Chain A
Amino acid sequence: MDNLLQFSPMQSSVDEGFWHRLSSLKLNKLGIDDSPINIFGFYAPCSHSQVSNYLTVLSESLPSELSEASLIPEPSRGNRNRCSVPGILYNTNTVESFHALDKHSLLNKEAAKIWDDILTGKAVEDCSLLSRFLVISFADLKKWTFNYWFAFPALVLKPPATVVNLKPASHWFSVAEAESVSAACNEWRSSKLTADIPFFLVTIDSNSRATVKLLKDWEACRSNAHKILFGFYDPCHLPNNPGWPLRNFLALISARWNLNSVQFFCYRENRGFADMMKSLVGEALITVPQEWKDTMPNVVGWELNKGRKVPRCISLAQSMDPTRLAISAA
């Protein structure tokens, strides 16, 4: 009996600057307008054996107050420590409306965008569309407290994928292959053109030479490659579980390319360089019924707060409240 493939959930991290900019946007520009705001976050491959990487939002995640026409922030490209992820923020005006938000339908709405991009092939062209996130929040600007809840929508395979042979990449590859894969990944990560592209193909020829390719090269790769792996930047540090981004990647692979057996490569780093001991390779087995593509799969992804289904709360009165600042400055 094969084991169920279990994914470690994505976790959020909010830089203080995000709340500072949201507050000034709210006070100076948005007012009581509570329509959703397009934002973006970023993550990077895990780079330490003890801690996972987080999906981070900071002040640049929000549109600038000054930007006139568009409220859509522009992520800067080419930073290897910032793979951008499109997100959406629902900031309510009252605590009651925060609780009244229909979380189920908001999550489905974001997942529908991912599913649509998979079916149309947009996600193959621009794989940053495979991961999305949403935040619901209530910013109490009288008390400088922020209640919020992140979700990372993941399409659920039914029946769930199972896994065989999940092990460190260094055990899975031959020595020559591991060296070549490391070198190819380091090159991919150091080029400004590809450093922040989090999903990719790794092909290995019969001479153990590895190449990293874009997803859109799939058709060309499948005809001449000796081995093909589906690689992704894995924010997770756990030795026996891949991270969250693999979920929507598997949905794409099975929906577009009809594969039942997928060799996946969880790319992880040590101090910024490819680490084949911490990276994982495994084989996911997917059985997808024919009618699967007609309806959108189920979705999961609300973040737990210390294991509980509750929002998070942060108080920034110490750094934002003008009266407290005046007292501490006196």
Chain B
Amino acid sequence: MVLSQKLHEAFKGTVERITGPRTVSAFKEKGVLSVSEFVTAGDNLVAKCPTWSWESGEPGKRKPYLPPEKQFLITRNVPCLRRAASVEEEYEAAGGEVLLDDEDNDGWLATHGKPKETKSDEDENLPSMESLEISKNSSIKQIPSYMGPEEEEDIPDMAEFEDPSNVIETDPSTYLVAHEPDDDNILRTRTYDVSITYDKYYQTPRVWLTGYDESRMLLQPELVLEDVSQDHARKTVTIEDHPHLPGKHASIHPCRHGAVMKKIIDVLMSRGVEPEVDKYLFLFLKFMASVIPTIEYDYTMDFDLGSSSN
């Protein structure tokens, strides 16, 4: 494994330049990140997956320990073609989920694409992120966004004021998608803004979700829970103030992130793969995909994960 040794050298060199040795050992021993490791890992994510970018957020909410222009990471307009809730109904019918690691009782679920297949080795500790095979005919109901004028009686119903002045000229060069019928079988594509902040207390990254309906109107955070793996929706996803943006957003609570990342790192090391801190967010996002399986954000990896398929 000459390459992995070289990577390891590069890794050690980089980390030693940026951080003290105590922080380095915390990454491998506890699965946590220092502030500068978060920035390093974020820089690497932005470089490899350019749909992600650093942002500075609200000036009043800036954290002094992070660079002003690198307060958090965000990828906008990420499609979510189906509700995780309805995916799971089908999935459970096909064999159910595998609860990981009972002894620690941390409740993370593996979303194995092939139920019934039992694995005895340590692979089970890694939440499997194989993309789920989902049949296209899943019926997804239209969930109204709470912002619609019909929902609040206080709102003057602007829909009554359909503009008589004909401001929208008929223009043959404008392509208008045919009106979507109000049919429950129509797939409702939601989109998400997914952001990653640094959680100082848990010393891990933390994922936040802002959802939009198919006409890009803001979704009530509670409706976001339909796009979270149902076990997590009840347990680990909370609705809180975003540390850098206004408003309430759904967030995957980071209390177990360090422990799960530590397991992922242990599995890699047991396979002889030396984990590198700048790849942390790729591993982290792969792990997050077990919580939000239908939100198609980018975490393409171009490095050896120590795949057991050899």
Give A residues with C-beta under 8 Å from B. Answer: 4-9, 11-17, 20-21, 47-48, 50-51, 53-54, 56, 59, 64, 79-82, 95, 99, 103-104, 107, 143, 145, 147, 156-157, 160-161, 189-190, 238, 241, 247, 271-273, 298, 300, 302, 304-319
Contact = CB atoms under 8 A, between A and B. Distances in A.
B79 interface: yes
A16 B175 contact: no
B248 A314 contact: no
Interface in B230-282: 245-248
B246 A156 contact: no
Contacts of A307: 176, 179
A6 B298 contact: no
Contacts of A53: 77
B217 interface: yes
Contacts of A310: 158-159, 161-163
Given A107-B167, A304-B168, A51 B79 contact: yes
Contacts of B175: 6-9, 238, 241
Contacts of A13: 77, 212, 216
A316 B58 CA distance: 18
Given A7-B173, A79-B53, A50 B189 contact: yes
A146 B211 CA distance: 19
A5 B296 CA distance: 32
B216 A11 contact: yes
Given A145-B154, A190-B50, A104 B165 contact: yes
Contact of A313 (B147, B189, B245): B147
A272 B49 contact: yes
A175 to B, nearest CB: 23
Interface residues of B, number: 54
Contacts of B212: 13
Contacts of B161: 99, 310-311
Interface in B161-188: 161-163, 165, 167-169, 171-177, 179
Given A9-B174, A190-B50, A247-B173, A314 B147 contact: yes
B46 to A, nearest CB: 10
Nearest to A64: B59
A54 B51 contact: no
Given A51-B79, A319-B248, A314 B49 contact: no
A317 B175 CA distance: 35
Contacts of A314: 147, 217-218
B217 A312 contact: yes
B156 interface: yes
A126 B158 CA distance: 38
Which of A5, A302, A304, A309: most chain B Cβ within 10 A?
Answer: A309
Contacts of A99: 161
Given A6-B174, A8-B175, A308 B162 contact: yes
B104 interface: no
Contacts, number: 151
Contacts of B4: none
A156 B179 CA distance: 24
Choose among B59, B149, B174, B176 the residue with the greatest number of A CB atoms under 10 Å from its CB. Answer: B174
Contacts of A317: 152
A301 B247 CA distance: 31
B300 interface: yes
Given A48-B78, A315-B152, A6 B173 contact: yes
Contact of B173 (A14, A50, A51, A156): A156
Contacts of B246: 16-17, 20-21, 59, 319
A153 B288 CA distance: 41
A298 B169 contact: yes
B58 A17 contact: yes
Contact of B168 (A56, A161, A309, A318): A309
A282 to B, nearest CB: 13
Given A80-B50, A302-B167, 15 more contacts: A6-B173, A6-B174, A15-B245, A48-B78, A51-B191, A64-B59, A156-B173, A189-B50, A271-B300, A272-B51, A300-B174, A304-B168, A312-B217, A313-B158, A318-B146
A277 B158 CA distance: 42
B200 to A, nearest CB: 22
B76 interface: yes
Nearest to A98: B158
B251 to A, nearest CB: 15
B81 interface: yes
Contacts of B58: 17, 59
Nearest to B248: A319
B137 interface: no
25 contacts: A6-B173, A6-B175, A7-B174, A8-B177, A9-B174, A9-B175, A11-B215, A13-B216, A16-B245, A54-B77, A80-B53, A81-B53, A81-B76, A103-B163, A143-B154, A157-B173, A241-B175, A271-B298, A300-B169, A302-B168, A304-B168, A306-B215, A313-B158, A315-B152, A319-B248
A304 B176 contact: yes
A48 to B, nearest CB: 5
A61 B105 CA distance: 46
Nearest to B212: A13
A312 B156 CA distance: 11
A131 B162 CA distance: 27
Contacts of A247: 173
A12 B298 contact: no
Which of A54, A56, A314 has the most chain B CB atoms closer than 10 A to its own CB? A314
A104 B165 CA distance: 9
Contacts of B245: 15-17
Nearest to A243: B175
B133 interface: no
B162 A16 contact: no
B151 interface: yes
